[in-house]
Amino acid sequence: MSQVNEGRPLAELLGGLVSDISGLFRKEIQLAKAETSEKVGEILGGVISIAIGGVLALGALGVLLSGLVTLIASFFVNQGLDPTLSNAIGAAIVTIVVGIIAYVFINRGIATFKASNLNLKRTTASLGRDADIVKERL
């Protein structure tokens, strides 16, 4: 012990230690709050960037599909069909093809949410084995 602490009673030393530890914990909690706030801000910025990118990608897809409709319509116009009918046929073809692709993806997504796919089979089996081992030892 240093000479500064020799004259102080043990209760005073312990009180100082508790005070120092609680101060340290308060500072650690403040640091954790500040760091969490920074990380939440970074994540929020990332989510906003993804949302903006998704909206722009959806717009680009719309323009691409519109161009595809125009291309198909021009093919039918060159075959001698009326331009209005050609646009309608081109839009119908693109709508049907994109609709089928969307249907396939939606069904795949829904299939992953079925209750049988969400069962925790390995965890359940492991817990069963653990329970059996505990029963054997008792």
pLDDT single digits (tens) 3-45: 555 667 877 877 887 788 888 878 888 888 888 888 888 889 8
Residue 124 located in a structural domain: yes
Confidence of residue 120 (pLDDT cuts 50, 70, 90): low
Residue 20 pLDDT = 80
The stretch 43-71 carries a mean pLDDT of 95
* Each residue's pLDDT tens digit, 64-118: 999 999 999 999 999 999 999 999 999 999 999 999 999 999 999 888 877 666 6
109 domain-assigned: yes
Encoding tokens for residue 3? 């000479």
Indicate whether 3 belongs to any domain: no
- Looking at the predicted structure, is the pLDDT value of residue 121 above 80? no
Amino acid residing at 48: I
Helix axes 83-112, 10-78, angle to 10 degrees: 150
**What is the rounded CA–CA span in Å between residue 21 and residue 13?**
12
Range of the domain at 105: 10-137
Mean pLDDT within 43-50? 91
The model scores a pTM over 0.75: no
Residue 1 lies in a domain: no
How far is the C-alpha of 104 from the C-alpha of 114, rounded, in Å? 16
What pLDDT is stored for residue 1 in this prediction?
Answer: 46
Note whether residue 5 is domain-resident.
no
Question: Locate tokens 């970074």: which residue?
Answer: 42
- So what's the pLDDT on residue 6? 62
Number of domains in the chain: 1
Query: What is the distance between the alpha carbons of residues 91 and 70, in angstroms, rounded to a whole number?
Result: 8
